[in-house]
A and B are shown apart, each in its own frame.
Chain A
Amino acid sequence: AQKITQTQPGMFVQEKEAVTLDCTYDTSDPSYGLFWYKQPSSGEMIFLIYQGSYDQQNATEGRYSLNFQKARKSANLVISASQLGDSAMYFCAMRVEDGSGGYNKLIFGAGTRLAVHP
């Protein structure tokens, strides 16, 4: 079964330090995509970063990087130089095949709540 697992319900980090949020996934498809989204307290879902299963290099977007370990089926998000505004829920997601044979469905993990302390 296709599944996303985020084992850390909550994390905290000191401002300006780096933090890693864990994500493991399960799929038998050779081709898939992995995403991270941020949900601040205001509720909107903000796309952060994407990693394709065939991408040779780890994805990076500013202070966000994705530590992609394909053999271990993990796609951890690393936030460098944490800021107070990074306090939010973070969701890992995977694009999977849906019931119609398409490849458009995103399934989400349960999320990790990150608190950045001054």
Chain B
Amino acid sequence: DAGVIQSPRHEVTEMGQEVTLRCKPISGHDYLFWYRQTMMRGLELLIYFNNNVPIDDSGMPEDRFSAKMPNASFSTLKIQPSEPRDSAVYFCASRAGTANTGELFFGEGSRLTVL
């Protein structure tokens, strides 16, 4: 089975530009999570969806960040305008609602560098 697929793997952009990160969860998983990893703050949950509906977006840092999940197989995280402090690795993860343990399956991450 294919795992969680993220794109792009690497993105270098200039301050002020719009950045869109994409995620395809594992088929059949009804929860999708966006995490951000930095040296200073570690792994932080930004937002998560259940059945395509945003449930908790309390971790979204600012209005510059937005996330959507138009269908069960696709989600985007958008930063507009981007700033150097947004440089991080962004992970998408999914899990099945029926999973007894509830472990998350992570994508390989999108490394964002904002110059």
Contact = CB atoms under 8 A, between A and B. Distances in A.
Which of under 10, 10 to 19, 20 to 34, or 35 or more describes the interface residues of A?
20 to 34
B108 A110 contact: no
A50 B111 CA distance: 28
Interface in A1-45: 33, 35, 37, 42-45
B103 A50 contact: yes
Interface stretch (B18-26, B48-56, B62-70, B72-80): B48-56
B102 interface: yes
Given A33-B101, A50-B101, A100 B106 contact: no
Given A44-B109, A111-B42, A100 B56 contact: yes
A33 B102 contact: yes
Contacts of B106: 37, 44-46
Given A43-B89, A43-B108, A98-B56, A105 B48 contact: yes
Contacts of B89: 43
Nearest to B9: A43
A104 interface: yes
